[in-house]
Amino acid sequence: MSPLPDNPDALYGDVIMDHYRSPRHRAPLPNADVEAEEFNPFCGDRATLQLRLGPTHGNAVSIQDVSALAEGCSIIQASASLLADNLQGRTVEQAADLSQLFRDLMQGKPLPSVALDELGDLEALEVVRQYPVRIKCALLPWVALEEGLRRLGRRSV
């Protein structure tokens, strides 16, 4: 296993370090429709995700606002910020699809170029695969998203 970098700047790259240093969408949403929190006791990471839903177009429910608050290492903070950035303006269904694509990326599955286009700057997190214990950190905000979407699905049934 690769050692964990003490100074990850050079190893993780500009996109990750930018989101780590200036995380986006951290402010809590006062009237969230969906909320989920995940905790990783192994490294003390915590991710809290909130969504505020917008108007429904046909069967599609849009995501109007996202808040992703992460505490812990640089990777979970960067991942939460990138997640929030990328959910803005998507529908709930597109968010679920994106989450699956991101899992595939982190698990090293070969992805077609159309999937990589869809992932956009999230692809920067692929570097984390070189530090296997950190993969969980990158995924934790997405686990919170999936839990939130599950609760939403149950509620609307």
Residue 76 beta carbon to Zn ion: minimum distance, rounded to whole angstroms: 5
- Of 78 and 137, the one with the shorter C-beta distance to Zn ion is 137
Q: Which residues bind Zn ion (CB under 5 A)?
A: 43, 45, 72-73, 76, 137
Q: Are strands 60-71 and 34-40 parallel, antiparallel or unpaired?
A: unpaired
Residue 3 beta carbon to Zn ion: minimum distance, rounded to whole angstroms: 15
Show the CA angle centred on residue 17, arms to residues 53 and 1, nearest 5°: 105
Residue 6 beta carbon to Zn ion: minimum distance, rounded to whole angstroms: 14
- Of 3 and 112, the one with the shorter C-beta distance to Zn ion is 3
- C-alpha distances (whole Å) from 130 to each of 2, 3, 5, 106 are 7, 9, 11, 10
- Of 54 and 72, the one with the shorter C-beta distance to Zn ion is 72
Residue of 61, 64, 39 whose CA lies nearest to 50: 64
